[in-house]
Amino acid sequence: MGATLRQRGTSPALVSIQPELSRRGVIFMPLAQAAGAYPELVERYLFTGVKPERDKFAALHAALFSGGSFLYVPEGVTVEQPLVSQFWSAGSGAAVLPHSLVIAGRGSRFQYVDQFLSGDRQEATLASGSSEVFLEEGADVGYIALQHWSVKTWQFGNQRFQLGRDSHLKVVDVALGGHLARLRVEAILEGPGSTADLKGLFFGTGDQAFDFRTLQDHVGPHTTSDLLFKGALRDRAKSVYVGVVRVEPEARGSSSNQANRNLLLSEKAQATSEPILEILNNDILRCSHGATVGPVDPEHLFYLESRGIPHPVAERMLVQGFLGEVLDRIPVPLVRDAVEQELAARIE
């Protein structure tokens, strides 16, 4: 790893960063520490994306946020190894409100990972976190979020990405934990020529409930976005997806795609999907959306079983293939392997 930041609850964070990155001007430290060391830089961006007045949970977060990370990668700097922030719930039942503030300088390139984890103690907990990511002109950023809170956690999270001219963003959101996990993901394509690739993966068991709200907002001309959220649900798990593609009047020549695919692995699992298009400009290249909800295809199962593959194995293969389209997009092997192992355990 290029750098890691680990924090448990409100305890002081532990940071490890390669000396070469520090010499090149990369700043990676706890957000509270950065506010004192680099006040002008933090004040310029903090809460300008996820504004406190958005809703009651954003207001609560802004008033009481505790912990979180600050990352600044200067102009023209490429970081080859992932930069990882791990936030652990203390497990005491106290609310956890981490905040990630990421600034990608002009022409910078890096992969950033947010991990949200729970310890062995499992008490009812509120998690209200926010991530603000800013891409300046020509920046190329990969953002991976792995949410694996305990099943006694109620999560209300926000992610907002603001893209400058000719910047490129790739996001992979993985949601595995929580009793109720609600996440709002917004990509604001302000700069002409900017692109956003948004992928999401979730797997619910027991009485878990997932709620995703996404926004692909094309503000500048010749912008491109592509979104795919895929999930599987078994037992009594539920999911809700509401996604908006908005093409603003000045966003001529833009292209957007949005898809939500849901696989139901039990009769009591439920998924609801609502894709929405708001086209305010007739001069677009393409704008499409779609959603599916259903069980494993019986014809595919029959095909595998007719070749001697037992039913449980055949179903597992089909579920793995269904989720693999997003899983394979996780560019950090350590994260991808951890997610793959957890999915394999749930599919069994």
Q: Mean pLDDT for each 10-residue chunk of the chain (348 residues)? A: 86 89 97 94 90 80 83 98 92 80 98 88 84 98 96 94 99 97 98 98 97 98 98 97 97 97 96 96 91 91 88 87 94 94 88
The predicted structure's pLDDT at residue 57 = 81
Which residue type is seen at 234? R
CA distance 272 to 229: 13
Q: Which residues contact 199 (CB under 8 A, 6 or more apart)?
A: 170, 171, 172, 173, 227, 228, 229, 326, 329
Give Cβ neighbours of residue 167 (< 8 Å, ≥ 6 apart). 104, 135, 136, 137, 138, 139, 140, 141, 191, 194, 195
Instruction: Of 177, 191, 185, give the one whose Cα is nearest residue 87.
Output: 177
Confidence at residue 238, expressed as pLDDT on a 0 to 100 scale: 98
Q: Where are the domains of the chain?
A: 3-297, 298-348
Strand, coil or helix: 280? coil
pLDDT of amino acid 272: 97
User: Would you state the pLDDT for residue 54?
Assistant: 78
Residue 93 is predicted with a pLDDT of 67
Residue 5 phi/psi, 5-degree rounding, is: -130, 125
Tell me the C-alpha distance between 331 and 143, whole Å: 10
What tokens appear for 185 in the block?
């993901």
d(CA 171, CA 217): 15
Output the six-digit token pair for 238. Answer: 């539920």
Task: Decide: helix, strand or coil at residue 20.
Answer: helix
> What does the pLDDT read at residue 235?
96
